[in-house]
Structure 1
Amino acid sequence: MPRVTRNDYALRLFNGDLGLCLADTDGQLRVWFETADEDGQPTVRDFAPGVLPALEGGFAITIHKSQGSEYGHAAVLLPPDATSRAVSRQLLYTGVSRARHSLELWASPELLAAALANNCPRSGGLPDRLRG
């Protein structure tokens, strides 16, 4: 499943858009995307692979790369190591909130409890910089 990694305004394809590789009626490989037409209405369009912006393939993406995207169904698989500091309440929220209609959460009860207990507030330093 190809995923666009760079915006292409002329093609109206944007970072994070997911496509599907299928042959057209002539047997030629095309990459199909659900996009918006000129009026903003949803439509499906196909492209020759060579004209597309930067793509990366895969069957799954990280929670980090999913930020800003929404999916009809999402599956969140947390790592089995319950002591991982990377597993946090914020990471779990970001993953779970990607699903519009349904969600599968794959985690042990212990890991889920550890993730919910691990609150990692943002520390970008912006408030300190604004205060001077």
Structure 2
Amino acid sequence: MERNDYTRSIFNGDQGIVLRVALRKGELRLMAVFRRGEGYVAYPLDSLRGSLSLSYAVSVHRSQGSEYTTIALVLPGQEMRMLTQEVLYTAITRARKGVLVIGQRDVFLKGIQTRIQRACRIGRRLQQSGP
């Protein structure tokens, strides 16, 4: 979802799935289905056109706060400074049941060994500000 729809309680960033739903009299209709609590809500796809964009994959950053049954983690083709232990932890902990890692073993291992180095110096700033 790309914009808020307060009347339907669906909001920018909400993810759903488009399904062909059988209605009465055998009519098939495309519906956008979103998880709500323990159940689902469905809206006619036509009524949401212009508010939706297709999503075939989600970045680790985008997936924060979400949970999936199974994830496929696609690693970059070579080592990257952005592939850190923290990023891998975030990615892997999105899955409830299974993780499929696609990529080179050495890239994965290097990512596990790479920690984010923060240069905020907050401790020194607090000491300088006094009691």
Decide: shared fold, TM above 0.5.
yes
Is 1:20 the counterpart of 2:21? The answer is no
Structure 1 consecutive aligned stretches of length 4 or more whose deviation exceeds 6 Å? none
Structure 2 counterpart of 1:33, which letter?
A: F
Cα distance per residue 1:73-110 (max 9 Å; x no partner): 1111110112x111111111111111011111123221
Question: Which residue of the other structure, out of 112, 120, 127, is the alignment partner of 2:122?
Answer: 127
Change (3 A) 1:43 1:23: same
Question: Which residue of the other structure, out of 82, 86, 103, is the alignment partner of 1:86?
Answer: 82
Larger RCO, structures 1/2 (Cα 8 Å, 6+ apart): 1
| Cα deviation, residue 6, structure 1 | 4.6
Could you tell me whether the CA contact under 8 Å between 1:89 and 1:119 is conserved in 2?
yes
Is 1:72 the counterpart of 2:72? The answer is no
Q: Percent identity?
A: 27
Cα distance per residue 1:25-52 (max 9 Å; x no partner): 222221111212xxxxx11211123247
SS at match of 1:68: coil
TM-score norm. by structure 1 comes to 0.75
Equivalent residue number for residue 117 of structure 1: 113
Gaps of 5+ in 1: 37-41
Structure 1 counterpart of 2:75, which letter?
A: L
Gaps of 5+ in 2: none
SS at match of 1:93: helix
Structure number with larger C-alpha Rg: 2
CA distance in 1: counterparts of 2:124 and 2:57, whole angstroms = 37
Change (3 A) 1:7 1:73: farther
